[in-house]
Structure 1
Amino acid sequence: MTAGTDLLVDAFGRVREAVEEAVDGLGPDELATRVDDANSVGWLIWHLTRIQDDHIAGVAGTEQIWTSQDWVDRFELPFPDDDTGYGHSTEDVEAVRDLSAQLLTGYHEAVHDHTVQYLAGVEDSDLERIVDRAWTPPVTLGVRLVSVIADDLQHVGQAAFVRGMLLGE
């Protein structure tokens, strides 16, 4: 690894720690509770992990952990296999239920491990590689990875807030 990838691994590690803290001690009912129709803790953690899985698999050229390690069947959600939660309706959010903290953290840990494994082979010069030409300017690998971290941190922060509302913390 390089200095740049070491920083990225550290950032993804902080996300992993925050995910564990957000779901720690919550049961299925609490994970599915929506405060004032906000996204539930369970949905937020599932979604941020799906996005990380999708985006890392995309830049790594690998199959998503969601399908390659059969997490899709373990979650038993009523969505297509490639669904990441992007654009979900309130009804879709409501359908993400009956999950355990162990299931959520297990999937996140598997995605985190894949992310770290991928980053171990990335050099600083690789971070300038264009990975998405659909944007102006085109998106580099470095920008995509920072974007995933930013999205993850935003969603895990929301989960922590909802957790605090539920537990009065």
Structure 2
Amino acid sequence: MDTFINTRLMSREQVWDKNGWVAQFNIPDNLEDRGVGWTEQDVSSWEPPARHIQLGYYEEVKAVFNSSVQDLTDEDLSESRVILPVETPRLVADALGQVTWDAIAHGGQIAYLRGLFVGNGWHR
């Protein structure tokens, strides 16, 4: 979400870089190295940060996202432009819809995996 809202949509520095989160997450200081393409060995050797660090980053990105989206006007949402990773122009509103869909889909994937490993979730 940080990359999408800050770098791609608003053309500004990510919270990740601006506020030093990369050092706290123990991964290479490289904008494009966010775990995509990591091998099984890369993942198993990575030491994730403490829970409070993960939640701190989440809360900061959430606050930036919420304020950024609230500031968008109807004119902003109707603007057609290239918003990576899609290389063809699209409406800002459509790109935000894709982000919403991605969050829902990935949340479902995580819930499914939790069910496989731990059992049913919150409703029991």
Instruction: Report the TM-score when normalising by structure 2.
Output: 0.76
Residue 95 of structure 1: how far off its partner (Å): 4.2
**Matching of residues 1-169 of structure 1 within 5 Å:** 52-57=1-6, 58-77=8-27, 79-82=28-31, 83-132=33-82, 134-135=87-88, 138-169=89-120
Distance 1:93 1:143 in 2: 33
Distance 2:44 2:81 in 1: 33
Distance 2:63 2:44 in 1: 29
Distance 2:59 2:18 in 1: 14
Contact map agreement 2:77 2:91 (CA 8 A) in 1: yes
Distance 1:160 1:125 in 2: 36
Which structure is higher in helix share? 1
Q: CA RMSD in A?
A: 2.1
Distance 1:129 1:145 in 2: 12
Distance 2:50 2:111 in 1: 16
Contact map agreement 1:54 1:84 (CA 8 A) in 2: no
Cα 1:143–1:89, aligned 2, differ >3 Å: closer, same or farther? farther
Distance 1:156 1:105 in 2: 16
Give ranges in structure 1 of 5+ residues lacking alignment.
1-51
Q: How many residues matched?
A: 115
Moved over 4 A (4+): none
% same residue: 27
Which residue type is aligned with residue 103 of structure 2? D
Cα 1:145–1:96, aligned 2, differ >3 Å: closer, same or farther? farther
Instruction: Report the TM-score when normalising by structure 1.
Output: 0.58
Contact map agreement 1:128 1:142 (CA 8 A) in 2: yes
SS in 2 for 1:54: helix
Distance 2:44 2:99 in 1: 24
Cα 1:157–1:67, aligned 2, differ >3 Å: closer, same or farther? same
